[in-house]
Structure 1
Amino acid sequence: MTNASPHDQLMQMICGYQVSQIVLTVGELGLPDLLKQGPTSVEDLAQACSANPDRLYRLLRAAASLGVFTETEPRVFAATPLSEILQSDHPTSLQPLTLMMGSEHYAAWGRLRRAVQSNENEFEQEFGLPFFDYLSQHPESAAIFDAAMTSIHGRETAAILEAYDFSQFGLIADVGGGNGSKLIALLTKHPQVRGMLVDLPHVVERAAPNFVAAGVNERMTLIGGDFFVEVPSGADAYMMRHIIHDWDDEKSTLILKNCRAAMQPGQKLLLVEYVIPSGDEPFFGKLLDLTMMLIPGGKERTEAEYRDLVAGCGFQLQRVIRTDQPISILESTAI
């Protein structure tokens, strides 16, 4: 795209939604899984996914032009490295993220102008509930969300564990830890460390079997609660990954003050977040910031904004640790 003219660059931006909807439809129809066994005719694929053969061919042809599939002979398609990542059983499958981004998220993004011109939460305006309340009442969407977060966070987790020495702590609380994938990886790497998962009761209930399957359940404490009300004490360090970015400053302050109330002076608070750089350089967090605005109502922040935020809650930001992924670890000390 960098070699394209300004006109062509803008055309690609304008038509970007077409690409995301092609990928979504490919995932919804299960085409990546259907092509795992080898090149397959459009007619056989259409029968397998209950599609109109001619219209399906047009979809596949468009997807192949993007590299998602390849047409090996007339009306016969095969998998590519891109489509393999959309297979449901791929170790780092992006199928759940595709389904999530193309459904509720896509609808909320259609309200971007309204969001910029108001102070309303556009997801709530569209679906009638705040995002996390919506998930609690829609188990299928919640399962897709969990799987999507795992696919995103998998690479991040390895980077976090490489960048920071968690072995210095005996018990680590993961506040808002979701399905527990981060704690599972951490406890697997550091067998002497114990973990505490803190999240809403229905989230903790969904996560419990994951710790059993990973063989670390005996080193785990699972606590269902609400971090807007209270954070349990007793851990040596408190960690939150992509939690504070979900909330505005007022609600983030409440969460952080509840963490501080549970901690002793000198204990560590570890926030794993995108830290927005200055300037015009491309950075994924700048786009994710708009998702936070539209869906949960939060925001991505700069280092200075994080420094001020934690300072108002009884912490001092000590350092920002970069990883080999776009995320950073903000290490603060309770004062």
Structure 2
Amino acid sequence: MRQEKNEAGGNGAAGADEASAGSAQDARLRRSSVFLVDEALGFLFPAALRAAADVGVADHLGNGPATPAELAAVTGTHAQSLHRVLRLLATRGVVAEDEDGRFTLTDAGQALRSDVPYSARTAVQMLTDRTMWRPAGELSRCLTDGTTAFDAIFGMPFFEHFAQDERTAAVFHVGMAAMSDPENAPIAAVCELPGTGTVVDVGGGHGGLLAEVLRRNPGLEGVLYDRAHVLAGHRLDADKELAGRWSLAEGDFFTAVPPGDAYLLKRITHDWDDDACATILGHCRRALRPGGRVLVLDAVVPRGNGPHQSKALDLMMMASLTGRERTETDFAQLFSAAGLRLSRILPTPTVLSVVEAVAA
């Protein structure tokens, strides 16, 4: 009888342990479910951020706190709907709502204004434009087909679409300039360039980076190299102190690049696959003067599970373009294919690094 009692007691303890383990597993799965649902709702924050950017609400908050009704009156929007958008933005610290229902633009939200230096408004509009948004929504297509989702949605590759759609092209180039402006000075400070000679900004857009480089290196002359429609919006003539030290060169970096002592390629290689990058870098290698260097300014994907903007940008590239963000090993292989050698990687205060190459 005693043995039976012990066995019964043992089975009871085992049953309790199993129930406890099952309860713990149940709790973990519940937490996981709640977490994943919350993460899936995360896409609504950039949607709200874009809506606020589109109607220019931040410009009016620059004058001080205001109620949704007051803001709706000056932005031509629906007060209750505007309040709901601002309420979500307040959860991420872009705005703050006080006890009287008035909203204030926080320090973190100041760059949503269009009337401040380093305004991010057009960058937000570019990053959430339909050309980025729609392909991201069909990312699973990239997994099953191994190709960008953009072509199937818009009927042509990314840059071909831009060439045919002036609205999209304007959104992209203006937005990219806004995204780049806060980065240019700290990146230029890290770039080590020759004291004299010519630096060529390949695919340099409106010239913001080149201007910063020339300011910091008075012995250099610069060439802004890009397509004609992009060069039309350049800003190099805005700084009179740079007069006579720069020139524009129209062309296609898949065909050739102007000769130079140093090349800058900011956010260029991540747009293209390895073969296309090898072509671009190969042109730089052939045009590079003796002792020169090629500076690729792109994000370098770090090892490990930690957050890094490059990992998000990489999925944007996968969805809309043929390129990708690369690791140090990827860059070394890319340079080798173009007759170059990775010499060093210099971190900057931004998400981008200076990935430097010399002739192999």
Which of these residues, 68, 83, 97, is aligned with residue 57 of structure 1? 83
Q: Which residue of 2 aligns with 1:153?
A: 180
Kindly tell me: are residues 264 and 84 of structure 1, through their superposed partners in 2, closer, same or farther at Cα, counting changes over 3 Å?
Answer: closer
CA deviation string 1:107-140 (max 9, x = no partner): 1201100011113322222223322233333333
The TM-score with structure 1 as length reference comes to: 0.90
Which of these residues, 177, 180, 195, is aligned with residue 207 of structure 2? 180
How far 1:76 moved relative to its partner?
3.0
Residue correspondence of structure 1 range 198-217 to structure 2 within 5 A: 198-207=225-234, 210-215=235-240, 216-217=242-243
Kindly tell me: are residues 26 and 268 of structure 1, through their superposed partners in 2, closer, same or farther at Cα, counting changes over 3 Å?
Answer: same
CA distance in 1, matches of 2:316, 2:272: 12
Q: Which residue of 2 aligns with 1:289?
A: 314
CA distance in 2, matches of 1:68, 1:305: 36
Which of these residues, 120, 143, 149, is aligned with residue 147 of structure 2? 120
Please say if residues 228 and 255 of structure 1, whose CA atoms lie closer than 8 Å, have aligned partners that are also in contact. yes
Unmatched runs of 5 consecutive residues or more in structure 2: 1-30
How far 1:265 moved relative to its partner?
4.4
Residue correspondence of structure 1 range 269-308 to structure 2 within 5 A: 269-308=294-333
Question: Structure 1: which amino acid aligns with 2:228?
Answer: P
1:193 and 2:220 aligned:
yes
1:12 and 2:24 aligned:
no
Question: Structure 2: which amino acid aligns with 1:311?
Answer: S
Q: Which residue of 2 aligns with 1:36?
A: 62
SS of the aligned residue for 1:60 comes to helix
Please say if residues 346 and 353 of structure 2, whose CA atoms lie closer than 8 Å, have aligned partners that are also in contact. yes
The TM-score with structure 2 as length reference comes to: 0.85
CA deviation string 1:37-88 (max 9, x = no partner): 2222322322222222222222233333333223335443232223322001
SS of the aligned residue for 1:277 comes to coil
SS of the aligned residue for 1:332 comes to strand
Q: Which residue of 2 aligns with 1:239?
A: 264
Please say if residues 120 and 178 of structure 2, whose CA atoms lie closer than 8 Å, have aligned partners that are also in contact. yes
Kindly tell me: are residues 267 and 54 of structure 1, through their superposed partners in 2, closer, same or farther at Cα, counting changes over 3 Å?
Answer: closer
Please say if residues 264 and 334 of structure 1, whose CA atoms lie closer than 8 Å, have aligned partners that are also in contact. no
Please say if residues 23 and 63 of structure 1, whose CA atoms lie closer than 8 Å, have aligned partners that are also in contact. yes
CA distance in 2, matches of 1:29, 1:156: 26
Which of these residues, 286, 309, 314, is aligned with residue 339 of structure 2? 314
SS of the aligned residue for 2:279 comes to helix
Q: Which residue of 1 aligns with 2:116?
A: 90
Unmatched runs of 5 consecutive residues or more in structure 1: none
CA distance in 1, matches of 2:177, 2:57: 22
How far 1:191 moved relative to its partner?
2.1
Question: Structure 2: which amino acid aligns with 1:29?
Answer: V
Identity fraction in percent: 33
Question: Structure 2: which amino acid aligns with 1:148?
Answer: G
Kindly tell me: are residues 264 and 41 of structure 1, through their superposed partners in 2, closer, same or farther at Cα, counting changes over 3 Å?
Answer: closer
Kindly tell me: are residues 24 and 194 of structure 1, through their superposed partners in 2, closer, same or farther at Cα, counting changes over 3 Å?
Answer: same
CA distance in 2, matches of 1:113, 1:12: 20
CA distance in 1, matches of 2:274, 2:245: 34
CA distance in 1, matches of 2:93, 2:302: 32
1:333 and 2:358 aligned:
yes
CA distance in 1, matches of 2:153, 2:100: 43
CA distance in 2, matches of 1:62, 1:242: 31
Please say if residues 195 and 217 of structure 2, whose CA atoms lie closer than 8 Å, have aligned partners that are also in contact. no
Q: Which residue of 1 aligns with 2:126?
A: 100
Which of these residues, 6, 24, 35, is aligned with residue 50 of structure 2? 24
Kindly tell me: are residues 19 and 238 of structure 1, through their superposed partners in 2, closer, same or farther at Cα, counting changes over 3 Å?
Answer: same
Larger radius of gyration: 2
Question: Structure 1: which amino acid aligns with 2:275?
Answer: E
Kindly tell me: are residues 251 and 54 of structure 1, through their superposed partners in 2, closer, same or farther at Cα, counting changes over 3 Å?
Answer: same
CA distance in 2, matches of 1:55, 1:256: 49
Aligned residues: 328
What is the root-mean-square deviation of aligned Cα atoms in Å?
Answer: 2.0
Please say if residues 57 and 75 of structure 1, whose CA atoms lie closer than 8 Å, have aligned partners that are also in contact. no
